[in-house]
């Protein structure tokens, strides 16, 4: 079975500051990893994914995440956040064989001016 | 490509009533998933289909819950004899598996159906 733990339920940060949202996972089989974002009153959107290759993956809006197999982590980072990044962020895993996503509890990122 | 759509967006029902939700996936997607999300939690998997076949069901899916995808296109999720604990956001997602260029891992989510049981 797989499980995902997001270590911070809420992260308040000032605009233009760096941020890290932490995600650890547990699995007895190989997994792929994802970050999804949910803006207020909107559906879940895929932010970035790690399937294979380079362990550092980037999104189009400046977020990046690094897959660390030894630490079973997939932390999300952004060097300078904007007000518009305010949202709920979910880390998720799926087995390499595909199927369901297992989500963490979510981290609420609140960017203040 | 109009994305995943769900209907209705909101449903208020009284305890003991039956409710049915509909999900229309992205047109060429052959996999369809149902999740449930309660306040302050991440989505929890309920069940998924590949074409018409229901490939996996969560133990969360009690006998009161049933899902169908009769023609491999849209899907319905029915909850019988609703309970207050069923109040949640019900999310549908779809993905494309098995075709060149398709990724079964990239699930695209709909806006959800918010169920309130009074």
Which among A43, A98, A106 is the nearest to B104, CB-wise?
Answer: A98
Give pLDDT tens digits for B11-39: 999 999 999 999 999 998 999 999 999 98
The helix (H) or strand (E) run that includes residue B27 is: none
Which among A46, A100, A106 is the nearest to B106, CB-wise?
Answer: A46
CA distance A109 to B107: 23
How many CA atoms does the CB half-sphere of A15 hold within 13 Å?
5
Averaged pLDDT score across all residues of chain B: 92
CA distance A91 to B112: 19
Contact B5, B110 (CB under 8 A): yes
Mean pLDDT, contiguous 10-residue spans, chain A (113 residues)? 93 97 93 92 90 84 92 95 96 87 96 96
Interface contact flag, B110 A43, Cβ < 8 Å = yes
């Amino acid at each position: 079975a797989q499980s995902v733990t997001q270590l911070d339920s809420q992260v308040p940060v000032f605009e233009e500051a760096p941020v890290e949202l932490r995600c650890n996972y547990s699995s007895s089989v190989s997994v792929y990893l994802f970050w999804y974002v949910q803006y207020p009153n909107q559906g879940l959107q895929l932010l970035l994914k790690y399937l294979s290759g380079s362990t550092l993956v980037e999104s189009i809006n400046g977020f990046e995440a690094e897959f660390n197999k030894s630490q079973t982590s997939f932390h999300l980072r952004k060097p300078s956040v904007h007000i518009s990044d305010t949202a709920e962020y979910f880390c998720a895993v799926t087995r390499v064989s595909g199927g369901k996503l297992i989500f963490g509890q979510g981290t609420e990122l609140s960017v203040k001016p | 490509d109009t994305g995943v759509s769900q209907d209705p967006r909101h449903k208020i029902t009284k305890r003991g009533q039956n409710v049915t939700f509909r999900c229309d996936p992205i047109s060429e997607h052959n996999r369809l998933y149902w999740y449930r999300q309660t306040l302050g939690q991440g989505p929890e998997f309920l069940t998924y289909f590949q074409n018409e076949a229901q490939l996996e069901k969560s133990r969360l899916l009690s006998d009161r819950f049933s899902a169908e995808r009769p023609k491999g296109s849209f899907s319905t999720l029915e909850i019988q004899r609703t309970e207050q604990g069923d109040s949640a956001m019900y999310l549908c997602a779809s993905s494309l598996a098995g075709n060149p260029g398709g990724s079964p891992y990239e699930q695209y989510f709909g806006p959800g159906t918010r169920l309130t049981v009074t």
